[in-house]
Amino acid sequence: MNLYRQGMPLTIIAEMLGHENLSTTSNFYAFATVDMIHEAMKKTSPEAVAEAPIWKNKDIRDMLYSLD
């Protein structure tokens, strides 16, 4: 996941892991994290993410993680 988040192409990661099928790699490692979504939004629409993300606040995270 760290390699993917740093921009390494999924095909290279799949090869490194010995996966014969790219879907194996994408199903387990290629998902967007909240930080990745935030960074993509910041690049395309900086005005939409001018404030600090609320999930960085420990109290907010604790509340969100407690939801069932």
Shared domain check, 25 and 6: yes
In whole angstroms, how far apart are CA 49 and each of 7, 13, 25, 35?
22, 30, 30, 12
**Confidence category of residue 32, pLDDT binned at 50, 70, 90:** confident
> Which residue is listed with tokens 């001018």?
50
Averaged pLDDT of the chain:
84
For 67, the 3-state DSSP assignment is coil
Question: What confidence tens digit (pLDDT) does each residue in 43-57 have?
Answer: 888 877 767 777 778
Instruction: Please state, in angstroms and rounded to a whole number, the distance separating the CA atoms of residues 61 and 18.
Output: 36
What's the one-letter identity of residue 49? V
Shared domain check, 25 and 48: no
**pLDDT score for 19:** 92
Shared domain check, 64 and 42: yes
Shared domain check, 45 and 66: yes
**Domain coverage including residue 67:** 38-68
What's the one-letter identity of residue 35? D
